[in-house]
Structure 1
Amino acid sequence: MTTTDVPDAETSRKLVEAALADMYTAWMDRDWERFNTHLDPEVTAWESHLPEMIRGLDELARYRAERGEPPAMRSLAADVSEVAVWGETAVARYLLVGEPVEPSTPRRVARVTEVFRWNGSDWVIVRRHAEAR
């Protein structure tokens, strides 16, 4: 496989799931540089807790700077329901489940849809929609 060849559908599904797992591990580690490697530079994110849609990594960096550190979680992981692959495009649908450090704090759950694009070497997120559940 050259760097431009899109992996077969089964391999692509596994790569997308691995990317999600690594992205949320990076979130837990507060490693935003590694987290961002899973995002297209022009990613858009529309989430129920955001006042506006985020467009691109520059807007994401500004949002992070303004919001401060996110709440501490004991765990944060994608419970993947489905990854569909069509050529250089993939869609992942999953529940994002965050277990808080404080037992009295409610568990955080969001329904997430991510659109991925093959960039020649990795599957990266180009569109994100998340809705608190």
Structure 2
Amino acid sequence: MTVADLITTITDMYRCLGDRPAFDAHLNPGLTIWESDADGLLSGLAALDDLRDRRAAQAPAPSPVTVAPEQFHADAWGDTGLVRYVLRARHGGDRPDECFRVTDVLRREGDAWRIVHHHAEAVR
């Protein structure tokens, strides 16, 4: 598996956004997560689901038209991968894009890469 496989994994994951089981298939169940809107380090899919549910319960905001990673920098060392990228959420009308700086650490599990740590920071 190559660096290109890491980028494909991240790109495929965001294509699944909105389909939790398909999205979560790219995640190791024990992953750790830093998110700009979380109070501390999240650990595991249950904690991620809790964050997702809290976000959904907030005042509804228009959904982005697209969400896609860009500006990739990726490295792989054996069964460990590191991908850095900008995640851009594009909105319709005159609402500005939202961007996040993201770092994902991945581990090869069988024939697939899975994220074991995700760090996303909103760019202001």
**CA offset at residue 71 of structure 1?**
4.7
Q: Distance in 1 between matches of 2:113 and 2:35?
A: 21
Q: Distance in 2 between matches of 1:71 and 1:115?
A: 30
Count of equivalent residues: 120
Corresponding residue for 2:63? 72
What is the aligned-residue identity percentage? 32
Counterpart amino acid of 2:20? W
Cα distance 1:38–1:104, how it changes in 2: closer, same or farther (>3 A)? Answer: same
**CA offset at residue 82 of structure 1?**
1.0
Query: Which 4+ stretches in 1 moved above 4 angstroms?
Result: none
Corresponding residue for 1:100? 91
- Map 1:1-133; keep pairs closer than 5 Å: 7=1, 12-27=2-17, 30-68=18-56, 71-101=62-92, 103-133=93-123
Bigger shift: 66-75 or 50-59?
A: 66-75
SS in 2 for 1:73: coil
Q: Distance in 1 between matches of 2:50 and 2:72?
A: 31
- Give the TM-score of the pair, scaled to structure 1: 0.83
Q: Which blocks of at least 5 consecutive residues in structure 1 are unaligned?
A: 1-6
**CA offset at residue 15 of structure 1?**
1.5
Counterpart amino acid of 1:23? M
